[in-house]
Amino acid sequence: MTRKAQHEELARSLGAIGAVRRDMARILPPDCPGGSAGVLTLLGLHGDMRMSRPAEPLAVDMSVTSRHVAHVAGRGWIERLPDPADKRSRIPRLTPAGRARLDGLSERSTQLLADRLSDWSDDEVGLLVRQLTRLRESFGDGRPGGPRVTPTAPTAPVAETSTADETATEPTTPRTPA
């Protein structure tokens, strides 16, 4: 019961975070919307990677990544190198212009956060980052076509057997994506 109420509260909190994300998105330059910025960020972080890779941490379909990559490529911020190991693949790489763009974006978002979180301590920010990271990991396999309900969950079907008021009577009404 308390557990369920907590989850309801969490769901609402997550919804409210949308406002934060929109606020972050608002400071982006018109020619570099969120999706493009995401691609640049990932390439800047992890270096060259094939198209399907950035789709992973973002948990989006590859077709989405493809569009974003095409957009930034059109701006000259990345180039798509051929993959010597697989001719079907193209490997996006940040260009100097792309790096400069990324630095600019980073500067913007950093300033916004510095302003909004001016009364947060370093430890508090660090804690939040860890929490968010863990949350993201807990949803790890949430990709579109990904396996739904823990097929062979390595993490204990054991449960606690104590206050299990899960009311687990039904297995999540299927969405029937047709």
When the beta carbons of 167 and 173 are compared against DNA, the nearer one is: 173
Q: How far is the CB of 62 from its own copies (least distance, A)?
A: 14
Binding footprint of DNA on the chain (CB under 7 A):
18, 22, 30, 33-36, 50-52, 58-64, 66-70, 80, 83, 86-91, 143-145, 171-173, 175-178
Tokens coding 159? 């449960």
User: Which residue shows structure tokens 């094939």?
Assistant: 50
CB nearer its own copies, residue 10 or residue 81: 10
Structural tokens at position 162: 């104590």
CB-nearer residue toward its own copies: 47 or 57? 57
149/178 Cα distance (integer angstroms)? 18
Answer with the entry of DNA, its own copies, none that 80 interacts with (C-beta below 5 to 8 A by kind).
DNA
Q: Report helix, strand or coil for 30.
A: coil
The alpha-helical segments, DSSP class H, found in the chain are 2-26, 34-46, 52-58, 62-74, 96-116, 122-138
Distance in Å, CB of 129 to its own copies, minimum: 5
